[in-house]
Every structure is written in structure tokens, then in C-alpha cells.
Amino acid sequence: MIIDSVNPATGEIIGKVESTPPDQLPKIVDDARKAQPEWFDIPISKRARLLRDFANILVVRKKIIADLISRENGKPVVEAYTTEIIPTLDIIKYYSRKSAGMLRNRRVSIGIPLMKTKKAFVRYEPYGVVGIISPWNYPLQLPLGQIIPALLAGNAVVFKPSEFTPLVGDMTAQLLWEVGIPRKVFNIVQGGGEVGAALVLSGVDKIFFTGTTSTGKKVSELAAKDLTPVSLELGSKDAMVVLDDADIDAATSGAMWGAFMNTGQTCVSVERCFVHEKIFDAFTNTLQKKVKDLRVGEGSDPEVDIGAIIHKAQFDIIKHHVNDAVQQSARIAAGGSFSEKGGTYFIPPTVLVDVSMDSLLMNEETFGPILPVVKFRTEDEAIKLANNSRFGLSASVWTADKKHGMEIARRLQAGAAIVNDVITCYGISDGVVGGVKESGTGRVHGKEGLHEMVYAKYYEIERAPRMKKLWWYRYDKNLLAFFETATDFLFSKSLFDKIKSLFKLAPKFLRIKKQ
């Protein structure tokens, strides 16, 4: 089966790739498993050097890569740099420098005196073969945010890009192979949901999925059949809370970019904006003026701010959410038109006010250039509104009082909370991204993202192997009396009881007989 790659801004077929037959997945995984030990035996410094070579290629070929991302995904070419290429390069730089230290063995401190003859440590072991299923909205940055730490940790990877951005996925594989990553260590499979399902059931040691919550639940169900561990980065309905002392100019610009960047097709985009009643009118008036200046069109044009919607299914979801909100009470303050022509789908940035909290627009992930703005009276009300969601990926607070902003941020139910900015959590390699509630279970970036690629294995060495252990068989009343007294000595809060038990331990120890 052939997959057509279509430019969503023009409807033009820009390339073709061959879909991977699902029944080939078990062999691909088996070959990767055979190749993984040799890859893990390579020093991490050398693995890091190969990935730095990969980064150098991304820099040299940045224009070609940015153009392909823009044409296949539809986003403005500027965003191909700011949200894809530059963050990816920083991820490589970060992990290639820090991974060795983050994966260093951890010495275990043994507190119980009777076990002081032991030496113990924790070693971080790669899972083996990991499957990475990535979406179309950030076809370079999202998968490489997991591929890079997976390879550095010593895993083999089987990567399935979205069927809507197969060319960026194929380019990623070609460049990794070009710098010397073995083909059976880094594998790419192409196709739709049936190939993704086959990958989950193929025998991989862990699955990483980024996408919608509904699909994430299906991935979890499939993985549960073999108890395959999963890391899920799913959908959200991120809230922005604007307090009455916020800088209106900065907050409106932040709301606009946070809601409309990548045509709103971002898991951490602002999908709900709550504004204090004292500044609500000034906020919405300023926002309307700014939104009307944004330019919609083909992403390859450097003057375009808002690109195309990726495909008709997403276009229909956005349209349905807006129509539902309008039918319930909402008023469109800016934008609101829908253009469907010749297999292309465009929606101008749209702002709605007077939106019902029961509408789809306030409860389901819209994933489009739509921003509902809702008025609140008190901070407690704003926090309640923001937390009234089954999602929780990120959130933001806008205020002149940074300390107070942090107090509000701590009360927001989200995996990330930002004061006076939006989305940046995903662009900081040493940060951490992940959700609560139905926004996911795993973490990416930072030490936590690297540790998703390994499991902690405990090692212990007994340095006095000939010594009989007091807790071994056989049990008797003398042994019981010894451990009762030892418990007081080790853990009693009373200094007097500790001292008293110390004098009792020696004679009780002498009465213990071990066969």
C-alpha cells in the first residue's frame, strides 16, 4: 500500500512512501532486539558523538528540512525553525552532554547495621526495544524528543511517524542512518492505525505514544494484553488565567500566540482563557484588534502567520465545536469563517466570548485556531473553572505579582504551570513535560524524560558470604527477643529506651544459635 503525502495548504501530493505490512512488525522488532546489545555496548560518549553529528546535519540542511516540514504539515516556515528545528537541536545538545551523568550508577546507602556487610547500587538499564508512535503536528521535534534519549540510553527504536507526515519521518530515519546509527538499531515503519496497533502488539519492551486521549486509551488497552509498559503524552484543554493586575498588552499577545501557533494544533496550546471581570473588556478589545492583523495562508510564505488545517477530519471537529458554542450562547468576536476548497482547509484565528461552560469548546480538545475567553470574578472561581476539566497538561497565570502568580500556579491541576508565558515548557530541554488526569502518564525532556527510557535495576554484593545471617532459619524465642529489642534500639524516639535496649542486645545476641 502506498501512502500519499499531501500539502494541506495546496492539496498537492508532494511525495509517496510505502506502508509497512503489519505482519512484518514482529520480525522488525526481533531484528532490533538482536542488534540492541551491541549498540548498548558502545560507550555512551560515542553514541552521543553520533547524535551530535546528526545535529550538525540538521544545521547544515535546515532550509531543506524547514521547507519539508512546512509543506507536509502546513505550518508557517518560521515555526518550522522556532518550534521544530531549534528545540530539537537543543534536545540533542542537552542529552548528549548530560545523559552519562544522569545514567550513572547510584550508590545505595544501607542504614540497617546488620546489613552493613553489603555493598549495593542501582544501575539504569535500557528497556531493550522501544516503540515510538508520534503525531503529525510536530513531526520532527516530538519524535526526536523521545528518539534521542532512547538511543543514548542504549535502546533500539522502532519508530512510526504519522501517516500525514511520512516524509518528515522518512527524512529523520535517513539522516540518522547517514551519521552511522545502525539500521536495525533505528527502524522506521510507515502506516496508519493498523501499523500502530501492530507495533504495540509486536513484542517491544515499552511503547511511547503521543496523540489524542481516545487513541491513547486504545494503546493502553492493547499494551495491557502483554503488560507492555506505556508512556502516554495525550490531549489537553489548557487554561490561561489572567488576573486583574496583568499587563494587558503582554497577556493578549501571549494568549494569541498560545492559542493560534501551529494553527492551534498543539497539545499545550491555550484552549480556555479566563480573564478577570475588571479587565475583561479591555482584554477582549485589544485581542480583537491584534487578531485581525494575523495573516492566513500557505506556510511556505514567510509573511504568513496562520497555516492550513492538516486534514478534513480535524477541520470538521473545529467547525463542530465552534457551531455548538454559538448555538448555546457564544458570540464570535473575531474570525469565525471556514474555508474548504480543493482539498484544503483554512480557518482564521477565531475569538469567542459569552461561551457556555457546558459547550464542547470548553470541554473537548478542539486542536484548532480557536480561543474562547471567559469572564471570572474571584481567583477561587478562576481556579475552579481552570481545574474543571478531565485534562491537565499545562496552564498559565498572568499577573504583575510573580509571587502571587506562583501561589495560583500551585493550585492549578496540570503537569506544568507557567507564570506570564505560555507553551515554553515544551521548548526547554531541561524542563519536564507531561500531564495529569487524562492528559497522560509519562514525561518527556529533562532527567525524567531520559529515565522513561530505562528501568532501575538493583545490584547487591554480600562482602561476608560465609557469615550466617541472624534472620535466617531457624526461628526461636531468643531470636524473637533479640529483634524486639533491636527494634527499640534502632527506632525508638526515647533516648532512654535506646540506651536501655543497647545493654540488652549483647546477652540476647549470645543466646541466638544458628545451624
Q: What torsion, rounded to 10 degrees, do the Cα atoms 421, 427, 430, 435 define?
A: 80
Task: Examine the domain organization and report whether 183 and 263 are in the same domain.
Answer: no
| 246/227 same-domain check | no
Cα–Cα dist 34/23, whole Å: 19
Same structural domain for residues 405 and 262? Answer: yes
* Spatial distance between the Cα atoms of 245 and 408, rounded to a whole number of angstroms: 14
Helix axes 86-102, 141-152, angle to 10 degrees: 20
Both 183 and 250 in a single domain? Answer: no
How far is C-alpha 20 from the geometric centre of its chain's CA atoms?
26
Q: Do 271 and 360 fall within a single domain? A: yes
Query: Do 421 and 490 sit in the same domain of this protein?
Result: no
Respond yes or no: is residue 273 known to be catalytic: no
Contacts of 342 (CB under 8 A, 6+ apart): 11
d(CA 85, CA 172): 12
- Report the CATH number that the domain containing residue 170 is assigned in CATH: 3.40.605.10
The residue annotated as part of the active site, out of 72, 84, 233, 365, is: 233
Query: Cell numbers of 83, please?
Result: 518550534
Q: What are phi and psi of 368, to 5 degrees?
A: -155, 175
**171 and 66 within one domain:** yes
Report helix, strand or coil for 286. Answer: helix
At 100 the pLDDT is 98
Grid cell for residue 27 = 520480525
pLDDT of residue 506: 83
Q: How many residues are there in the chain?
A: 515
Within-domain flag for 9: no
What is residue 507's predicted lDDT score, i.e. its pLDDT?
Answer: 87
311 and 193 housed in the same domain = no
Question: In this structure, what DSSP letter does residue 82 have?
Answer: I
In a domain, 501, yes or no: yes
Q: Tell me which residues of the chain have a pLDDT lower than 50.
A: 515
Could you tell me the pTM of the whole model? 0.96
440 domain residue, yes or no: no
233 part of the active site: yes
- Tell me whether the omega of the peptide bond preceding residue 474 falls within 30 degrees of 0, making it cis: yes
Helices (H) and strands (E) in the chain, counts: 17, 19
- Where does 108-229 show beta strands of DSSP type E? 118-126, 129-133, 156-160, 186-188, 206-210
Residue 118 lies in a domain: yes
Helix axes of 379-387 and 402-410: crossing angle, nearest 10 degrees: 40
Q: Are residues 247 and 312 in the same domain?
A: yes
Given this model, what pLDDT does residue 510 score? 81
On whether both 184 and 313 belong to a single domain, the answer is no
| Cα 183 to Cα 178: distance, rounded to the nearest angstrom | 10
Rounded to 5°, angle at Cα 27 from 25 and 31: 120
Which among 79, 267, 364, 438 is annotated as catalytic? 267
Among left, alpha and beta (phi > 0; psi -120 to 50; other), residue 242 is beta
Q: Does residue 463 lie in a domain region?
A: no
**266 and 195 part of one domain:** no
Strand order in the sheet with 186-188: 186-188, 156-160, 129-133, 206-210, 230-233
Is residue 183 domain-resident? yes
Instruction: Print the domain residue range for 198.
Output: 25-234+447-457
Place of cell 504583575: 400
Tens digit of each residue's pLDDT (9 = 90 or more) over 96-105: 999 999 999 9
Cα(53)–Cα(56) distance, rounded to whole angstroms? 5
Task: Give the pLDDT confidence score for residue 429 in this predicted structure.
Answer: 96
Query: How many structural domains are present in the chain?
Result: 3
**Count of Cβ atoms closer than 10 Å to residue 228 Cβ:** 20
* 213/272 same-domain check: no
Asked if residue 20 belongs to a domain, the reply is no
Report yes or no on 6 lying in a domain: no
